[in-house]
């Protein structure tokens, strides 16, 4: 029941704060424009100076002919190469900083709704939360990136071990090598999927701890691991909604391929469709985030679901415990007089 309630509240929160989706879409356009300005222009200049015909970029041999002697090319146009690489680095840093600011503002707004201090979206609140959470999210992102790097390293070790086993088996029998390759590949896929989902859930629940309890990056991740260890249902809930998000995203992206083959207007319709898909993915991603936050808050905060969903708080009479407090006597059931009590 809590799963459906969490998903329902996730939709309710984002629907009432649809400006968060609009900000995500605006950030996409800003990132695209920034790429054209910071990377596209220097790259076009570099192509022109290198003598690459921009109208024939579909011919890969032109590009390979241009970069056939990279050492000579680098020594001749060193300043221009540095300019292009610096522009790309600046673009990546700007996009990363913008993404962290928007993510901090979004989870800050969701956090305020959970705490009941705010109910609607306000740009001033969004900006203030983005500023407050920017530097904590920088450290949090670094630690989360290290976690994913460690997971990738472990999977790489497993993959190398599987390749070695299959190579040894090939020397003995081809059928055995084929069987072992398929078997261990399936095991590696399952183990990798489990590790990735666990790491993602730790990162998402860790962000909830970061914004709600105002902990540091390391303590937030540690608290998230402790919470998921004690509440296995929270990990299962994240796997459920992530699977739903992945299935919906895959389906809508798969539907875009036939549209591109429509004569004449196919590319234009496909472009509009891809834009709609991005809006849908942004919306579902925020809904998933709000649902996870609601699930975490409903299980850890005092007051539980009533406080988070906006339901009216219980009155004093309804909140009075039944034990230790006698009910008022009904009519005709008054207490016995003292003398009758003594006789009894």
Q: Is residue 325 part of a domain?
A: no
Q: Is residue 335 part of a domain?
A: no
Q: Is residue 337 part of a domain?
A: no
pLDDT of residue 164: 85
Distance of alpha carbon 75 from its chain centroid, rounded?
A: 43
Q: Is residue 146 part of a domain?
A: yes
pLDDT of residue 112: 86
Sole residue written with tokens 């036939």: 258
Q: Is residue 315 part of a domain?
A: no
Residue 252, CA distances (Å) to 149, 263, 264, 268, 274 in order? 30, 21, 22, 17, 9
Domain boundaries, position 131 = 2-305
Q: Which residues of the chain have pLDDT under 70?
A: 1, 46-47, 49-78, 117-119, 260, 301-344
pLDDT of residue 31: 86
pLDDT of residue 146: 92
Q: Is residue 106 part of a domain?
A: yes
pLDDT digits (tens, 9 = 90+) for 234-282: 899 999 999 989 999 888 888 777 776 777 777 788 788 888 888 888 8
pLDDT of residue 198: 92
The burial of 80, by beta-carbon neighbours within 10 Å (0-12 exposed, 13-18 middle, 19 or more buried), is given as: middle
How many folded domains does the chain comprise? 1
Q: Which of 236, 291, 288, 275 is nearest to 29 (CA)?
A: 275
Q: Is residue 274 part of a domain?
A: yes
Sole residue written with tokens 């339901």: 311
pLDDT of residue 150: 93
pLDDT of residue 61: 52
Q: What percent helix, strand, coil does the chain show, rounded to 5?
A: 85, 0, 15
pTM for the structure as a whole:
0.73
Q: Is residue 275 part of a domain?
A: yes
């Amino acid at each position: 029941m809590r799963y459906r309630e969490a998903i329902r509240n996730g939709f309710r929160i984002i629907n009432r704060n649809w400006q968060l989706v609009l900000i995500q879409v605006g950030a996409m356009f800003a990132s695209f424009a920034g790429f054209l300005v910071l990377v596209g222009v220097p790259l076009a200049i570099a192509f022109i100076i290198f003598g690459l015909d921009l109208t024939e970029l579909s011919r890969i041999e032109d590009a390979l002919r241009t970069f056939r002697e990279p050492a000579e090319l680098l020594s001749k146009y060193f300043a221009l190469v540095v300019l292009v690489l610096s522009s790309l680095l600046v673009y990546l840093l700007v996009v990363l900083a913008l993404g962290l600011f928007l993510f901090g503002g979004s989870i800050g707004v969701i956090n305020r709704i959970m705490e009941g201090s705010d109910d609607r979206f306000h740009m001033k609140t969004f900006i203030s939360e983005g500023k407050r959470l920017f530097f904590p999210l920088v450290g949090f992102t670094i630690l989360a990136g290290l976690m994913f790097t460690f997971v990738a390293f472990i999977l790489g070790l497993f993959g190398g071990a599987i390749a070695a086993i299959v190579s040894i088996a090939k020397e003995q029998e081809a059928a055995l090598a084929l069987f072992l390759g398929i078997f261990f590949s399936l095991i590696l896929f399952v183990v990798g999927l489990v590790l990735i989902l666990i790491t993602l859930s730790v990162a998402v629940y860790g962000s909830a701890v970061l914004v709600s309890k105002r902990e540091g990056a390391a303590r937030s991740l540690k608290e998230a691991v402790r919470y998921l260890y004690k509440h296995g249902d929270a990990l299962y809930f994240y796997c459920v909604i992530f699977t739903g998000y992945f299935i919906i995203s895959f389906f809508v992206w798969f539907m875009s391929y036939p549209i591109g083959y429509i004569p004449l207007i196919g590319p234009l319709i496909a472009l509009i469709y891809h834009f709609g898909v991005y809006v849908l993915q942004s919306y579902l991603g925020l809904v998933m985030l709000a649902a996870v936050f609601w699930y975490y808050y409903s299980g850890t905060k005092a007051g539980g679901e009533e406080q988070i969903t906006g339901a009216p708080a219980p009155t004093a009479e309804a909140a009075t415990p039944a034990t230790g407090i006698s009910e008022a006597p009904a009519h005709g059931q008054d207490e016995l007089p003292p003398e009758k009590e003594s006789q009894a």
